[in-house]
Amino acid sequence: MRVRELAQWLGADFEGDGEIEITGVAPIESAGPNDVSFINSRKAAQQSEASAAGCLIVPMDFASQGRTIIRAASPRTAFARAIGRLHPPAQPEQGIHATAVVGAGAMIGQGVSIGPHASVGAGSSIGSGTIVGAGCRIGRNVSIGDGGLLHANVTIYDGVHIGRGAVLHSGCVIGADGFGFVMEGGRYEKFPQIGGVEIGDFVEIGANSCVDRAALGVTSIGEGAKLDNMVHVGHNCRIGRHVVIAAQTGFSGGVVVEDYAVIGGQVGIGDKARIESRAVLGSGCGILTSKIVRSGQVVWGTPARPLKQHLEQLANLARLPALRKELADLKRRLARLEAV
C-alpha cells in the first residue's frame, strides 16, 4: 500500500512522497523506511527527526520538516486504523467445524465460524459473521449478535444476551450464578440466581473476566464498554455505555456505573455503590457499600475520596515526623517558660 493510498483510505491529506510503499507499522523508535508510525503531540516532534519511518501520521499543526507525513486530527486514532488496514486479523474458516456440537433448534447465521470442540446449546442463536473460537461453551437460549468474536474457551451460561460486534476473550465466563445465600439452621442455602445478563453492542471483555447473572432481573453491560482481564462483575450490576474498566477490578452486587466512567485496575466496589457519569476511579481504590461517586469526580485511595483530599492526606502523613518534632520542641520551650 502506498502512502497516497493509505492517506486516501484514512480520509486524510499527505505531504511528501506519496509513492512510498508501506508494508508495516511500528513505534517511532523502531520504524523503518516501509513502516508507518505516528506522533501524537508537538512535544514528540523531536523524536520524529531521528525516526527512519517511511511515513509519519502527525497532528494537523506539525511542521513537516520535509518528511513524508499524513495529517490527522487524532494521529493515534488514524494510526490505529492504519494498523487495522495493514494487519487485518486472520480470519478462521467459515462454517461449523466437524467436531463442534450444535444443539437442537440453534440458529446459526450466515458466514459464522464455529471452531473445533465448541458447543452451542439448544435454542441459541449466533448472528451473521460471528466467530466462535475452539472450545467455546455456549449454553441454551443464548443470543449473540452479528459480527461478534468469541476467542477460544469462552463460557456463556444459559439465557445470556450479547449484542452485535462484541469481543470476548478466552476464559471469560458470562452468566455464572451471582453470589447469594441465606443462612438457615447453621447452613447457607442458595438464593437461586434466575436473572439474566445483557451485554451491549461492541462491548469487549478481557481474558478470564466474569460477569455474573442477576438474582432476579438482569446484570447489564452497556454499549461500547471495555473490560480488561480478570474483572469481576457481580449480580445485578448495571455498567453504563462506554465505560472503561482496567484489570482485576471487582464489583459487588447491584453496583450502578453510569456512562463514560473510567475505572482503574484492582479497584473494589461495594454493594449498591453508584458511580456517576464520567467519574474516574483511581487504580486500587476502594468504594464503600452504597457510596455515591458524583459525576466527573476523580477519586483515589481507600476509602476513596476526591483526588485533592487524597493527596493532602498523603502529604499530611508525610509531615507526621516533622509534626512530632515541632511538638517536642514546643514542649521543651513551654517547660522552660514554666520554670521561670
CA dist., res. 256 & res. 253, Å (int): 9
Q: Which residues are registered as beta bridge partners of 232?
A: 210, 250
Per-residue x/- mask for a second copy, residues 136 to 175, rule CB under 8 A? Answer: -x-xx----------xxx-x-xx--------x-xxx-x--
Q: Give the residue with the Cβ less far from a second copy, 18 or 83.
A: 83
Q: Which H helix or E strand runs over 219?
A: strand 218-221
Q: Give the residue with the Cβ less far from a second copy, 67 or 169.
A: 169
Sheet holding 35-38, edge to edge: 13-15, 69-71, 55-58, 35-38, 24-25
Q: Considering the complex, what minimum distance in angstroms separates the CB of residue 101 from a second copy?
A: 4
Contact at 8 Å (CB) between 62 and 71? yes
Catalytic one of 169, 232, 235, 242: 235
Which residue in the set 59, 129, 133, 222 belongs to the binding site for a second copy (CB under 8 A)?
A: 133
Restricting to residues 187-226, name those near a second copy by CB under 8 A.
187-192, 194, 202, 204, 206-208, 210, 212, 216-217, 224, 226
177 belongs to the binding site for a second copy (CB under 8 A)? yes
43 belongs to the binding site for a second copy (CB under 8 A)? no
Q: Give the residue with the Cβ less far from a second copy, 144 or 230.
A: 230
HSE (CB half, 13 Å, CA atoms) of 97? 18
Sheet holding 226-227, edge to edge: 95-96, 113-114, 131-132, 149-150, 167-168, 204-205, 226-227, 244-245, 262-263, 280-281, 298-300, 305-306
Q: Considering the complex, what minimum distance in angstroms separates the CB of residue 297 from a second copy?
A: 18
For residue 306, is the peptide bond before it cis, meaning its omega torsion is within 30 degrees of 0? Answer: no
Q: Considering the complex, what minimum distance in angstroms separates the CB of residue 119 from a second copy?
A: 4
Restricting to residues 53-112, name those near a second copy by CB under 8 A.
74, 76-77, 80-81, 83-84, 87, 89-90, 97, 99, 101
CA dist., res. 280 & res. 51, Å (int): 35
Q: Considering the complex, what minimum distance in angstroms separates the CB of residue 292 from a second copy?
A: 18
Alpha-helical runs (H) found in the chain? 3-10, 45-50, 75-86, 307-318, 320-339
* CB neighbours of residue 201 within 10 Å: 17
Question: Of 3-11, 13-21, 49-57, 180-188, which segment contacts a second copy by CB under 8 A?
Answer: 180-188
Give SS3 for 230: coil
Contact at 8 Å (CB) between 76 and 40? yes
Question: Of 12-20, 42-50, 62-70, 246-254, which segment contacts a second copy by CB under 8 A?
Answer: 246-254
Q: Give the residue with the Cβ less far from a second copy, 15 or 179.
A: 179
Q: Give the residue with the Cβ less far from a second copy, 64 or 141.
A: 141
117 belongs to the binding site for a second copy (CB under 8 A)? yes
Task: Judge whether 235 counts as a catalytic residue.
Answer: yes
Which residue in the set 109, 265, 292, 295 belongs to the binding site for a second copy (CB under 8 A)?
A: 265
Q: Considering the complex, what minimum distance in angstroms separates the CB of residue 96 from a second copy?
A: 13
CA dist., res. 116 & res. 205, Å (int): 22
Tell me the catalytic residues: 235
